[in-house]
Amino acid sequence: MDIKERLGKVKYDVDKEYAHITVDENICEKCPHHFCVMACPAQCYTLQDGKLVFQYEDCVECGTCSIACDQGSVTWHYPKAGKGVIYKYG
Amino acid sequence: MPDYDAIVVGAGNAGSAAAISMASKGLSVLLVDRSDPPGAKNLSGGVLWGNDLAQILPKWQSEAPLERFIDNKKIGFLTEKSSIVIDFKTEIFRENKVGYTVLRSKLDPWMAKKAKEAGATVIPGITVESLVIKDRTVVGVQESGDVITSNVVILAEGINPRLSIEAGLRGPLQDWEVSVGVKEIIKLSPQKIEDRFNLTPNSGMASEYIVGNMGDLNIGAFLYTNKDSISLGIVSPMEELRKNGVTHTYDIIETFKEHPSIAPLIEGGTVAEYGAHLIPEGGLDMVPQVYGNGYMIVGDAAGFAFSNGLVLQGMNYAILSGIVAGETAVEAKTRNDFTSKSLSAYEEKLQNTYVLKDLKTFKDIRKVTGNKNMYTVYPKMLEGILLEMLWERGQPKKKVRDILGSCATDLKMSRLKTMTDFYYIYRRM
């Protein structure tokens, strides 16, 4: 099963106004490994033409990227009240 | 006067247990969670072991939303083509109800409801933005500019503890402290589950696997039966993922699902949910200072979990640490002293429970779980031994000693290395 299809099974209340994770593109550009792409279980980090692209909408708030990134690019805050992933089973 | 005796941040097992134990003893308690309903961001493998909840909720076994009681525990090793499983099914588990499969999106709101019934104010859908610290004492929490104060703040934030990190109560998490857990809920009818796993309508099966067909990665996996679904997931140590560097965490679970002995178990099921969560696996070395002026840290946020590659427990440690923190707060209230010195009783009490005793006993367990041979060599060795013993090929038979020797040689392991490895695993496990 494709990861995109699996992410389609996750319920979210996406906060369109506020990104709870931000990345510093200047740092990502110089990153030697882009381990975030492998580590993130929700495919929020992808490489497109060698450039890191980040989107927070599919984030399941596990915090993996905040550890995976050892370059200081990822800033991680909790989403605003009630926003983000809502597990039906957990 | 502070607004509350205690503010609990996070309505997981640990937070709600703390709130119940304090509110039921008359403390004024505010329990906040950033999701609504409370606990909707929480995710576990899905077996609650033990009977710690009975301390605060004596009737939990009949009232809580539980899936199935475990009377069948399996421990397995997978190679590319084989599975070697110890299948332990016992009336002793059945009679004593030692563990239940649970779904956190049902269990956690129920526990939060129990906290409310015990007298706590429960507010879901509130994201605490920061701790309020005055004179090196945690005096409350801040949300959207509003400050709510309390004598003590109980941090039950979970394994991604942003508030504790930002307040400097603990450092940022490191690779060796966590594994990435990836899980799916696979819907299957109760009838299919009971037929396939040889269960009765309320009994369940919990299985854990050492996955030996993932190249150089140390991967653990689990498969549990719920009422009408299967909880299936994989556990990947962050250190290993980084060393490997070419494997997506979300692909590993697919490889596990496609294994010839796993695929038939979930055949015909539909994926109802996908999720991921970090798992504390650093043992005693990752436990931060768990108390200080005006605060205590409980559950995953404190690193309270146990793993030896074949057993993975966290909810019981969370609940017990929450209860102990709650009791400590009740005693601190009678002393009207919420300083670090007064709250140090929390750690002292934990020393006398399995929470800290286990972490101490198994302080070297990462040398076992981090032992690559456990994943890349020994499952294949077991497979080789069993093939040699059980596969009649018209060849002269060998003694076990010789089989072991030739299997070790095939896998480029010397007998001495194998024996010393077994000895170290035996010593630490």
List, in order, residues 6 or more apart from B238 with CB less than 8 Å away: A39, A64, A67, A68, B175, B176, B177, B178, B179, B180
Report the predicted TM-score, pTM, of the whole model to 2 decimal places.
0.96
| pLDDT tens column, B162-198 | 999 999 999 999 999 999 999 999 999 999 999 999 9
Report whether pLDDT(B310) > 80: no
Interchain proximity B41–A87, CB inside 8 Å: yes
- Verify whether the Cβ–Cβ distance A82 to B35 is below 8 Å: yes
- Write out chain A residues lying below 8 Å of B35, CB-based: 82, 84, 86
Per DSSP bridges, beta strands B203-211 and B270-280 are unpaired
Which domains are assigned to chain B?
A: 4-67+104-175+285-363 (3.50.50.60), 377-428 (no CATH)
Residues of A with CB under 8 A from a CB of B: 1, 3, 6-7, 9-10, 33, 35, 37-43, 60-64, 66-68, 76-82, 84-90
Q: Do A63 and B278 touch (CB under 8 A)?
A: yes
Q: Which tens digit of pLDDT belongs to each residue from A61-76?
A: 999 999 999 999 999 9
Q: How far is B33 from chain A (nearest CA, A)?
A: 9
Q: In the predicted model, is pLDDT for residue B201 greater than 80?
A: yes
Which chain B residues have a beta carbon less than 8 Å from that of A64? 180, 238, 249, 276, 278
Q: What ipTM was estimated for this complex?
A: 0.97
Residue B97, CB-side half-sphere exposure with 13 Å CA sphere: 12
For residue A64, the enclosing domain spans 3-84
CB pairs under 8 A between A and B: 138
pLDDT in tens, B64-86: 999 999 999 999 999 999 999 99
The sign of the torsion formed by the CA atoms of B133, B134, B137, B143 equals negative
Residues B231-270: pLDDT tens digits?
999 999 999 999 999 999 999 999 999 999 999 999 999 9
pLDDT surpassing 90 at residue A1: no
Whether B404 has a pLDDT exceeding 90, the answer reads no
Among candidates B39, B42, B126 on the partner chain, residue whose Cβ is nearest the Cβ of A81: B126
Q: How far apart are CA B193 and CA B170, in angstroms?
A: 43
Please provide residue B142's backbone torsions phi and psi, each rounded to the nearest 5 degrees: -125, 135
Q: What is the CATH number of the domain that holds A52?
A: 3.30.70.20
B99-101 vs B47-49, strand pairing mode:
antiparallel
pLDDT value for B135: 96
User: CA torsion, points B163, B169, B173, B176, in degrees to nearest 10?
Assistant: -150
How far A10 CA lies from chain B's nearest CA (Å)?
A: 6
Identify whether A90 is part of a domain.
Answer: no
Cβ contact B276–A41 (<8 Å): yes
Record the tokens describing residue A11, joined without a space. Answer: 């319920």
Rounded distance between C-alpha atoms, residue B203 and residue B129, angstroms: 42
pLDDT tens digits along A2-48: 999 999 999 999 999 999 999 999 999 999 999 999 999 999 999 99
Asked whether residue B358 carries a pLDDT value surpassing 80, the answer given is yes
Does B429 score more than 80 pLDDT?
no
| Candidate from B175-189, B267-281, B326-340, B357-371 with smallest mean pLDDT | B357-371
pLDDT of residue B163: 97
Residues of chain A contacting B174 with CB distance shorter than 8 Å: 67
Best residue of A2, A87, A88 to probe chain B, by most B CBs closer than 10 Å: A87
Does A36 fall in a domain?
yes
For residue B48, pLDDT over 80 is answered with yes
Residues of B whose CB is below 8 A from A79: 34, 127
* CA–CA distance, B259 with B106 (Å, rounded to integer): 30
* Total domains, chain A: 1
| Mean pLDDT rounded to a whole number for chain B | 95
Q: What is the pLDDT of residue B10?
A: 98
pLDDT of residue B413: 82
Contact between A4 and A19 under an 8 Å Cβ cutoff? The reply is no
Evaluate whether residue A89 is within a structural domain: no
Q: Kindly list the residues from chain A whose CB atom is less than 8 angstroms away from the CB atom of residue B126.
A: 81
Closest listed residue to residue B238, CA positions, set B386, B93, B369, B107: B369
- Angle formed by the axes of helices B104-117 and B13-23, to 10°? 10
pLDDT at B336: 97
Q: Is the pLDDT of residue B289 over 80?
A: yes
